[in-house]
Chain A
Amino acid sequence: MKATFDGGTFKGMLAASTDWLEKIVPDINALNVYPVPDGDTGTNMLMTMRASLESVATDSNGSVSSFISAVDKGALMGARGNSGVILSQIFHGVARTLKKAKVVDAHSLAQALQSAADTAYSALSDPEEGTILTVIREAATAANKAAKSCDATATSVLAAATDAARTSVINTPNLLPVLKEAGVVDAGGHGLFTILEGALLYIKEKSNGRAPELLCNQKPLLAPKPEPSQDEDYYGFCTQFMIKGDNLSVKKIRSVLENMGQSLIVVGDASLVRVHIHCQNPEAITHCASSFGAVTDTNICSMDEQHQDFLLMKKTSLTTAVIVVCNGAGLVNAFADLGATAILPGGQTMNPSTMDILNAIERVDSDSIIILPNNKNVVTTARLAQTLTKKQVCVIPTKTIPQGIAAMIEFMAEADYETNVNQMAENYHSARSIEITRSTRDARINGLEICSGQIIALLDGQLMAAGESPVDVILTLLETLDIAECSVVTIYYGKDASEPEATAIIEKILTSWPHLSAGYENGGQPEYMYILSIE
């Protein structure tokens, strides 16, 4: 047992925690309250951890204070999604306590964890129990209790915090009914536990040959865990995608892909398989995978290059620049045509980091910027980026694509910044959003019994209907709305949808509600078959 941790120990713990987390990322992603293929908590936390790791790579000082300040900065700049932002605040809290430390003993480690909990809570306007917040708070409480023991060491405090985090994660469904109903634990909390566990195993030198534990009774994606990779230094492209088809064999897919890269994870069932692999040639992988079924939701990112680039649409000097986050060629074009200055690729399955957003802010040729996140997870990251620039930035908290379009329609290049902000903020709520996708697993939510592969519909982010066909669920959901008050319905069809089906949906809508104007656009979005904007 180590009585104290020095900077080198912390550095090893951070690397080990990141590796440990990476092994369970697909499972954490799958811990979604809604069975939609958009779970990204694990990915967001991993990206944030990697950003921290990258930040400390150049730190050769060896002291805890130098290490922790590099971690703090890296996490802050690399934070993605809600979970990433909270994780960055946890690191920030630790850094505040340890900023002058050369080594860390039991007492100061407990204090740092307490500071982490306090900082994470204070970062949120409406902290919710049953989440990562509860997990860090209970871990800190346990750490403080352990630190009071006369034979306390830094290791014993970390072990107590990890144990408490584990218990806390398992208890999250008792605090948050929506988790209980979905049969899952909180994904962010689980990620934090895995990070603590990875650090503890590094200290105890017990991680070799093991895989992280999934703290969930109902494993969302039933599949054997992959063996730990023998080559963790491998770099190239982190390639993730789904295969949709009939009678898919996880075993067969794994056997075909296992020689094509490292860190292979293949999980799923006969109709939907999720693949994660590190490789040098992503195209060869997806081409090979396409022999099994339809390859969708492809997400390829360079592991050498943390920051996504963005599409700069307008290069001339502007009074007000608008940065939009969205995915899908059609939606990108729509926002560009409506006057967006820069488009950051991202959405449900790939949240841009704080650094990505900050990079876009700094590069657009304007000092007054409006950001349309178009996703609830990106709102938090965008707000964090807002605090890191000297430019005037307003985040209009659009949580869906229809809200983003509604805001963008109000934008006028010749209007002043304040007018644009007011007009866009006032009007983005006017659009209601229905998103259609397939359930990735069996679930029971909002009184709905949902089977894996079934079509499900989310109304403004809430799962409200399930059925056998997109048109059925759309009509069911529209019947619950006050359509008499609406005038325009626009359908953005995505990657796994078709124009003829979109036309058929429109005909059905117009038969039921002839007063509406209904039309479609090719959104090309990867996550949802259809996104409906109801105004």
Chain B
Amino acid sequence: MTVAIVTDTIPCIEQELIDEFDINLVPIHMVINGKEYQDQISLTPDEFWKLYPDMEDYSTSTPPIAEYLEIFERLSKTTRDIACIFVSKSLSATAEVAMQARQLFLKDHPDVNIAIIDSRTAAGAQAFILLEMARAAKAGKSLDEVTAIANDMIPRVKYITALEGLKRLIKIGRAPKTAYIGELFQVKPLIGQVNNTGVVENLGRGRGTEKTMLKMAELMESYVDRTTPVHITIHYTNSVEDGLKLKDLITSRFNVVETHFTPYSPVICLAIGPSTSVAFYS
């Protein structure tokens, strides 16, 4: 009996890995122009970008408790140990709602153990923690061991993202406090989570796509030596080409031993707009 793994739709990992490690997703919800969507379930990235030009009114919301309960219920039929890793508490109430769901669920299932972990990060960085937990679970590690692996990974994972502007993040209240709203042509705000603070940090600005990517690589170099083996995830939004450019740049500069290349999920695209991102740990 292995530890079951649960997460939200923020890590944006490949479907093959979801299938391989039997990862259970609780999708974040979105309301776009009055219509509600479940991230990655009722709205794929391609569909999202078709809606994007006419997207006037939008918001995100945590999954309802019922969706957590449904997953816990289903998993409890085959396991007594469930490990959940969610997006940073400072960015979303996903983990908070999960705790309420756990409280309700355990009343009827006192023999089930549910660990809820705040990743203190998001996206590809959260995915690295998730994958290490999933690998450990598949290898037959206990819930305590899986949790310890997550806690070991949390301070090691980082990501750097280049945006077109900060207006979307400001609208949903997630922009770094010290970043400026300026949306000058081709001035790309750089944000990320590199100091294990749990909040989105201001990492400066770049000008133009190529120079901004170079700056992302330089920033990454302040955390990872070029010769040190590094695991990377490149995320893209509406430009696969930009994602590939960033991937080529990072793999040419660093000793990359593991690479993932996936689009951001619609809920992240909704939050930050067009962007490219590199998540990494060594």
Binding site for B on A (CB under 8 A): 334, 337-339, 405-406, 409-410, 412-415, 430, 487-488, 490, 517, 519-521, 535
Report whether B202 and A535 are in contact in the complex, using a CB–CB cutoff of 8 Å. no
B116 at the A interface (CB under 8 A):
no
Interface hit among B83-91, B130-138, B144-152, B179-187? B179-187
Contact with A along B204-235 (1 / 0, CB 8 A): 11111111000000000000000000000000
Report whether B184 and A334 are in contact in the complex, using a CB–CB cutoff of 8 Å. yes
Note all chain A residues with C-beta closer than 8 A to B210.
487
State the CA gap A417–B186 with chains docked (Å). Answer: 26
Residue of B nearest to A340 (CB): B180
Report whether B180 and A337 are in contact in the complex, using a CB–CB cutoff of 8 Å. yes
In the complex, which of the residues A412, A415, A430, A521 contacts B184, with contact meaning CB atoms closer than 8 Å? A521
Note all chain A residues with C-beta closer than 8 A to B186.
488, 490, 517, 519
Report whether B184 and A490 are in contact in the complex, using a CB–CB cutoff of 8 Å. yes
B252 at the A interface (CB under 8 A):
no
Note all chain B residues with C-beta closer than 8 A to A488.
185-186, 207-208, 211
Given contacts A334-B182, A413-B180, A415-B204, 9 further A-B contacts (CB under 8 A): A337-B180, A405-B184, A412-B178, A413-B202, A414-B178, A430-B211, A487-B209, A490-B184, A517-B185
In the complex, which of the residues B180, B182, B204, B208 contacts A410, with contact meaning CB atoms closer than 8 Å? B204
Note all chain B residues with C-beta closer than 8 A to A414.
178, 202
State the CA gap A102–B19 with chains docked (Å). Answer: 96
Report whether A412 and B185 are in contact in the complex, using a CB–CB cutoff of 8 Å. no
State the CA gap A337–B208 with chains docked (Å). Answer: 18
Report whether A535 and B182 are in contact in the complex, using a CB–CB cutoff of 8 Å. no
CB distance from A525 to the nearest CB of B (A): 15
Note all chain B residues with C-beta closer than 8 A to A409.
187, 205-207
Question: Mind listing 26 A-B residue pairs with CB under 8 Å?
Answer: A337-B180, A337-B181, A337-B183, A338-B180, A338-B182, A338-B184, A338-B187, A338-B205, A409-B205, A410-B205, A412-B204, A413-B178, A413-B180, A414-B178, A430-B211, A487-B208, A487-B209, A487-B210, A488-B186, A490-B186, A517-B208, A517-B209, A519-B186, A520-B185, A521-B185, A535-B207
Report whether A337 and B209 are in contact in the complex, using a CB–CB cutoff of 8 Å. no
Residue of A nearest to B203 (CB): A412
Note all chain A residues with C-beta closer than 8 A to B184.
334, 337-338, 405, 490, 521
CB distance from B10 to the nearest CB of A (A): 25
Given known A412-B202, A414-B202, A519-B186, contact A339–B208 (CB-CB < 8 A): no
Report whether A339 and B207 are in contact in the complex, using a CB–CB cutoff of 8 Å. no
Note all chain B residues with C-beta closer than 8 A to A412.
178, 202, 204
Nearest 9 pairs between A and B by C-beta?
A: A337-B182, A519-B185, A488-B208, A487-B208, A413-B178, A488-B186, A338-B182, A339-B180, A409-B205
Query: Which residues of B151-205 are within 8 A (CB) of A?
Result: 178, 180-187, 202, 204-205
Note all chain A residues with C-beta closer than 8 A to B178.
412-414
Given known A338-B180, A410-B205, contact A535–B187 (CB-CB < 8 A): no
Binding site for A on B (CB under 8 A): 178, 180-187, 202, 204-211
Report whether B204 and A535 are in contact in the complex, using a CB–CB cutoff of 8 Å. no
Note all chain A residues with C-beta closer than 8 A to B202.
412-414
Residue of B nearest to A431 (CB): B207
Note all chain B residues with C-beta closer than 8 A to A406.
207
Residue of B nearest to A520 (CB): B185
Note all chain B residues with C-beta closer than 8 A to A520.
185
Note all chain A residues with C-beta closer than 8 A to B205.
338, 409-410
CB distance from A314 to the nearest CB of B (A): 10
Residue of B nearest to A406 (CB): B207
State the CA gap A379–B141 with chains docked (Å). Answer: 66
Note all chain B residues with C-beta closer than 8 A to A339.
180, 182
State the CA gap A410–B207 with chains docked (Å). Answer: 9
CB distance from A408 to the nearest CB of B (A): 9
State the CA gap A430–B212 with chains docked (Å). Answer: 13
Note all chain A residues with C-beta closer than 8 A to B183.
337
Note all chain A residues with C-beta closer than 8 A to B207.
406, 409, 430, 488, 535
State the CA gap A520–B184 with chains docked (Å). Answer: 9
Residue of A nearest to B182 (CB): A337
Note all chain B residues with C-beta closer than 8 A to A338.
180, 182, 184, 187, 205
Residue of A nearest to B180 (CB): A339
Residue of A nearest to B206 (CB): A409
Residue of A nearest to B181 (CB): A337
Residue of B nearest to A412 (CB): B204
State the CA gap A459–B119 with chains docked (Å). Answer: 51
CB distance from A255 to the nearest CB of B (A): 46
State the CA gap A339–B182 with chains docked (Å). Answer: 8
CB distance from A311 to the nearest CB of B (A): 16
State the CA gap A406–B211 with chains docked (Å). Answer: 12
Residue of A nearest to B178 (CB): A413
State the CA gap A430–B211 with chains docked (Å). Answer: 11
Report whether B185 and A535 are in contact in the complex, using a CB–CB cutoff of 8 Å. no
State the CA gap A487–B214 with chains docked (Å). Answer: 13
CB distance from A264 to the nearest CB of B (A): 41
CB distance from B169 to the nearest CB of A (A): 15
Given known A339-B180, A413-B178, contact A490–B185 (CB-CB < 8 A): yes
Note all chain B residues with C-beta closer than 8 A to A334.
182, 184
In the complex, which of the residues B180, B181, B208 contacts A535, with contact meaning CB atoms closer than 8 Å? B208
CB distance from B246 to the nearest CB of A (A): 15
Note all chain B residues with C-beta closer than 8 A to A413.
178, 180, 202
CB distance from B212 to the nearest CB of A (A): 10
State the CA gap A334–B205 with chains docked (Å). Answer: 14
State the CA gap A413–B205 with chains docked (Å). Answer: 12
Residue of A nearest to B210 (CB): A487
Residue of A nearest to B190 (CB): A412
State the CA gap A406–B215 with chains docked (Å). Answer: 14
